[in-house]
Amino acid sequence: MSNIHASAESVSDKLDGQVNGQVLNYRLMALLHASNIFSLRNGDGTYPYPEGANVSSSLLDGFTTLAKILGRTFVAVDGKEYDIWDAVMTLLNAHLTPPPTPVGH
């Protein structure tokens, strides 16, 4: 598909996730949708807009897949719901917290 005749409107439509007023189904994302491990693919059916393995040279496709991954939440073994920000900040806090001083020192 050539973009030589792309108009500002056609570029805007593509960025908005639609073409000629029709939603691009592969761009649908359930942001902050609860997930199970590995549930982005068709496996366990918990993700409303599953995506199979694919190849694309489109940056928009890559960003969409990344957003699908980053926009998920997960209920961990402690029963609490976390997202990627929670996980990263938990790791940062653990890294920055000094280890406890051993007893007797």
- Give dist(CA 93, CA 97) in Å, integer: 6
Q: Give me the mean pLDDT over the 38-44 stretch.
A: 55
Place of tokens 């280890």: 99
User: Token digits for 93?
Assistant: 């806090």
In tens, the pLDDT along 56-104 reads: 767 777 788 788 778 888 888 898 888 888 989 999 999 999 988 888 7
DSSP, residue by residue, 41-53: SSSSS-SSS----
- Give dist(CA 12, CA 37) in Å, integer: 34
Which has the higher per-residue pLDDT, 59 or 51?
A: 59
For the chain, which residues make up each domain, given as ranges?
29-96
Whether the predicted model's global pTM rises above the 0.75 cut = no
Q: What does the mean pLDDT of the chain come to?
A: 76
- Give dist(CA 97, CA 83) in Å, integer: 21
